[in-house]
Amino acid sequence: MDRLKAGLTEELVSVDKQLAEYEDSPGEGIDVSSEEGFADSAQATAERSSLISLVEQLQATRREVADALTRIEQGTYGKCERCGQEIPVERLEALPSTRLCVACKQAASA
């Protein structure tokens, strides 16, 4: 459990550093003015959209990791939120922020 917690803590620090690089000014420096050619404007819009998507992914990852650390503190980490059974250590090592066991994840995806 200590190893999983340490890994989650490292991931949280890493995600926070990445977010700090992007969140101060997502999309800043990308000009979408109509004075440029259509292709340039389209490229700038695509770049801005890509950057916003990346920041949203990082924010979601941060929430998942922070929630996993909270579950560790509360003593509920490693228990499936759907069926209440223990999540195998192998799954937790592969996906440390997972909330569901394999069976429940497969059922939820179906």
pLDDT at 26: 47
Q: How many angstroms separate the CA atoms of 24 and 26, rounded?
A: 6
Query: Is the pLDDT at 32 greater than 50, yes or no?
Result: no
Rounded (to 5) percent helix, strand, coil in the chain: 65, 0, 30
Query: Is the pLDDT at 35 greater than 70, yes or no?
Result: no
Q: How many angstroms separate the CA atoms of 46 and 39, rounded?
A: 10
Taking the model in full, what pTM does it have? 0.75
